Amino acid sequence: MSDKPNDMVPWEGLSKPLVKILEMVQAGCGAVWEKHGIVRRAQGEARAAMLKATSNLAISEVQARATDRFLAREVERQLNIESIARQAHEELPPHVRAEERPLPESDWIAAFFNYAQDIGDSQMQQLWAKLLAGEIVRPRSFSRRTLSVVRDLGAQEANEFAALCHWRVAFWDPHVTYLVRTSRENKRTPSSDLDNLASVGLIYVDRDEFFMDTLGVALFAVGDVAYKALWNGAPEEQVRRLPLGIAQLTRSGEELSKLIPHAEGDELAAPIRSYWESHKWLVKINPR
């Protein structure tokens, strides 16, 4: 049986960047991506354990159950890795699949597969596939800290975060993203959801609302559309504070939000414009 990468069934049809990454995983983690790698390695260890046990008369029932459990766990991990890799391939733009390009850092790759191998939920596998594809397209897009955060994220929390990020507004100076929502929208988000997302490290929460002190102008973007907020209150008012809602994305939240679509068109801008106008601010499109 050949051990060459091009003979490895799980790699058939995958993009060049993914094949290279999986070669690195194989080299660094034993035969993780060898043809039947996990099963063969597990079977070899199981046989070794059996021989040692039989030399002492007979294998015990406990050892047999442990061997079965080990095999089942490693086979499940192999299936998880293959599923995520296949989905990552589908997420890559066609031109990236055939390109020779810089790969993510080896430590990042090791951490990714160490976490991803235990992700069996189909929705969360899709998220991990998007992370891998995004890192291939643009290395250093997602930190290892963000991988750690996502590892502890459940499907429900991921859905809650996606719903919040639909309303995100990115400011340019300082560079920070707030989940700016009108009072009506804020009431739709239970406090427990916000607390939960804060506890896993995706957002900061301020019950009294975040504000930005400005000189009368603030530049921001919603997706690819640039806007500016202009002070419309009395000129003599010294405090010109722009209300920003009660949630701010952490660095990991910022990185993860790249995978979530923005509100489109005026879906976000219209309610935010109305909200800010009630606080003496005008919102206009800012041609770049």
For 224, the token pair is 């690819």
Chain segment 150-173, per-residue pLDDT in tens: 999 999 999 989 888 877 888 876
For 249, the token pair is 């994305």
Where is mean pLDDT largest: 27-36, 135-144, 246-255?
135-144
Position with higher pLDDT, 231 vs 181 = 231
Chain segment 93-127, per-residue pLDDT in tens: 888 887 777 889 989 999 999 999 999 999 999 99
b/e string for 112-133 if b means 16 or more Cβ within 10 A? bbebbbebeeeebbbbbbbbbb
Instruction: Give the residue from 123, 179, 143 showing the smallest Cα distance to 251.
Output: 143
pLDDT at residue 121, as a whole number: 94
Under 8 Å between Cβ of 78 and 29? no
* DSSP label of 104: P
pLDDT at residue 155, as a whole number: 92
C-alpha distance from residue 272 to each of 106, 120, 229, 277 (Å) = 42, 38, 10, 8
* Mean pLDDT on 123-136: 95
pLDDT at residue 1, as a whole number: 37
Chain segment 39-67, per-residue pLDDT in tens: 556 666 666 665 565 555 455 777 778 88
How far is the C-alpha of 189 from the C-alpha of 208, rounded, in Å?
A: 15
C-alpha distance from residue 106 to each of 21, 102, 118, 216, 270 (Å) = 9, 11, 19, 46, 44
Position with higher pLDDT, 248 vs 60 = 248
Instruction: Give the residue from 69, 58, 147 showing the smallest Cα distance to 105.
Output: 147
pLDDT at residue 177, as a whole number: 81
Measure the N-to-C terminal CA separation of the chain; round to a whole number of Å: 59
Element at 220 (helix H, strand E): strand 217-222
pLDDT at residue 152, as a whole number: 92
Residue 44 CB neighbour total at 10 angstroms: 11
Element at 239 (helix H, strand E): none
pLDDT at 28 over 90: no
C-alpha distance from residue 143 to each of 68, 116, 120, 137 (Å) = 36, 15, 22, 14
pLDDT at residue 87, as a whole number: 93
pLDDT at residue 270, as a whole number: 74
Residue 142 CB neighbour total at 10 angstroms: 24
Q: Which range is least confidently modeled, 5-19, 46-60, 205-219?
A: 46-60
CA 243 to chain centre: 28
Is the bond preceding 93 in cis, omega lying within 30 degrees of 0? no
Chain segment 173-197, per-residue pLDDT in tens: 667 787 765 444 544 566 677 888 9
pLDDT at 26 over 80: no
For 231, the token pair is 């002070």
pLDDT at residue 8, as a whole number: 42
* DSSP label of 19: H
C-alpha distance from residue 169 to each of 231, 247, 263 (Å) = 18, 11, 10
